[in-house]
Amino acid sequence: MIVDRIRVHPQLISADDQDEWPWTVPCVRALVGSGIALPAPVTFLVGENGSGKSTVVEAVAEAFGLDSYGGRGGSRYASPRGRSDLGERLRLEYTPRGLAMASGPRAGRRGFFLRAESAMRMMAEKQGRPGYWEERTDLMSHGEGFLTVFESMFRGPGLYVLDEPEAALSFTSSLRLVALLQELGRSGAQVVCATHSPILAATPDAAILEVGEHGIRPTRWQDLAIVDHWRRYLERPEAYLRHLA
């Protein structure tokens, strides 16, 4: 484990801020004060589009010093848009191992951030560079490229942050990622992942935080709305499709 808790100190939020995005988003408001504990080596944030889960995981990456554009720890921040408002104010409460990593030289900060929206461009730019992968991911399918990055970069104790990595993955490839995330959790690394995938969220021993109008709350895989919807849809797709006509 690298990080025990994520939070925003209340004194960093002004009265004017409270009426502005992202502080109007319920899950972001839930971070102000005591914040949210990350209770397991692998933690998933699950919620609908627009719930704020990607905003939170991106801020976690930025607070750790990972480029919001995507890439590995220890490298210089290169994103042209700079850190987000939440990323600037979010504080990570570290474990002893995490504190040693975060307070040491930048080169010793191990981790990786994969952001689905910018992943393909990031992969094309990073391939072949020292410290990255040698394979030509620009000649692969999206799913093959994603798995190459995961299997090359997700190694050893560090903080690995993923924003909807399932976007390019088939069912079988998703299972390969589940195995990798489980292995990372056992190795002393930590994973924080935003996902819509019931396959990824079923990773053994992972913690699940459900994001929505309520803010953020721990839940179980079998109680997730996405699990219920997928189960019902696969059993009787016509019960959903008839409402689309």
- More confident: 214 or 128: 214
CATH of the domain at 115: 3.40.50
- The helix/strand/coil state of 126 is helix
Residue 72 sits at φ, ψ, to 5 deg, of -95, 160
Measure the CA–CA gap between 142 and 185, rounded to whole angstroms.
25
Q: Give the range of the structural domain holding residue 182, as residue numbers without chain letter.
A: 3-241
Q: Calculate mean pLDDT across residues 116-133.
A: 82
Spacing of C-alpha 201 from chain mean position: 12
Q: Which of the four pLDDT bands, split at 50, 70 and 90, describes residue 81?
A: low
Q: Model-level pTM?
A: 0.92
Summarised one tens digit per residue, pLDDT across range 173-199 is 999 999 999 999 999 999 999 999 999
Measure the CA–CA gap between 71 and 91, rounded to whole angstroms.
20
Based on the structure, what is the number of domains in the chain? 1
